[in-house]
A and B are shown apart, each in its own frame.
Chain A
Amino acid sequence: NAGVTQTPKFRILKIGQSMTLQCTQDMNHNYMYWYRQDPGMGLKLIYYSVGAGITDKGEVPNGYNVSRSTTEDFPLRLELAAPSQTSVYFCASSYSVAGGPYPSYNEQFFGPGTRLTVL
């Protein structure tokens, strides 16, 4: 298994440009997430998905959009890039199952990250 893969690894954008960050997982995980990590800071959730066709906003969704048409893919779209979006973007996936007082959670796997600079 390749796990969680992300492309590209690095990208420089000019202000106002748009781009899509790709994320694919081959573990048949139902949950997928997009985080951003600013230098020296923690992880902030942008969007997440609990399954194909279902997405929801996280803590910092403004300026981003997502879609989840398949279990495997969860692309993140940046429209009208701004310097404030300079960050490292991590995609992650996990498998969670409801049931009883203690739902089953498995490890959240992270992709290698995309380092984005907006100038």
Chain B
Amino acid sequence: GENVEQHPSTLSVQEGDSAVIKCTYSDSASNYFPWYKQELGKRPQLIIDIRSNVGEKKDQRIAVTLNKTAKHFSLHITETQPEDSAVYFCAVMRYGQNFVFGPGTRLSVLP
């Protein structure tokens, strides 16, 4: 089955700096890669996603890059703000299968 690794497990950055979280996966047939943000005590919420026919996608301060050959994708957050502090999960899906989540990255943005 699919195996998803996520690094780092914790990340602390100064406000205004950039943060990068990387996920690797094992199934080359996987073709949908979402990123979720989960604040303490709340439900996961989608912040950005990318499909396998696209190499990069950007939404304001958030971007995701996908390298299908190397089987990894990364979340990039620029100009970080305290409200970006949360746990971030990557996920991988192949049609007909189900979502497999990474173990999460706890991001702390220090003022």
Chain B residues with CB below 8 A from A102, complex form: 31, 51-53
Interface size range of chain B in the complex: 20 to 34
Instruction: State whether A108 touches B34 (Cβ < 8 A).
Output: yes
Given A42-B103, A48-B98, the answer on whether A107 and B49 have CB atoms closer than 8 Å is: yes
Instruction: State whether A58 touches B98 (Cβ < 8 A).
Output: yes
| Least CB distance, A38 to chain B, in whole angstroms | 11
Interface size range of chain A in the complex: 20 to 34
Given A108-B34, A108-B46, the answer on whether A98 and B95 have CB atoms closer than 8 Å is: yes
Chain B residues with CB below 8 A from A113, complex form: 43
Instruction: State whether A43 touches B98 (Cβ < 8 A).
Output: no
Interface of A, secondary structure class, is loop
Instruction: State whether A45 touches B99 (Cβ < 8 A).
Output: yes
Instruction: State whether B44 touches A110 (Cβ < 8 A).
Output: yes
Instruction: State whether B101 touches A42 (Cβ < 8 A).
Output: yes
Complex CA gap A46/B46 in Å reads: 20
Chain A 14-49, CB within 8 Å of chain B: the 1/0 string? 000000000000000000010000000111110010
Instruction: State whether B101 touches A43 (Cβ < 8 A).
Output: yes
Chain B residues with CB below 8 A from A98, complex form: 95-96
Instruction: State whether B43 touches A90 (Cβ < 8 A).
Output: yes
Name 26 interchain pairs, CB-CB below 8 A, sorted by A. A41-B103, A41-B104, A43-B44, A43-B89, A45-B98, A45-B100, A48-B98, A58-B98, A90-B43, A98-B95, A98-B96, A102-B31, A102-B51, A102-B53, A103-B31, A105-B32, A105-B49, A105-B95, A107-B34, A107-B49, A110-B43, A110-B44, A110-B45, A111-B43, A112-B42, A113-B43
**Residues in chain B within 8 A of chain A (CB atoms):** 31-32, 34, 42-46, 49, 51-53, 89, 91, 93, 95-96, 98-104
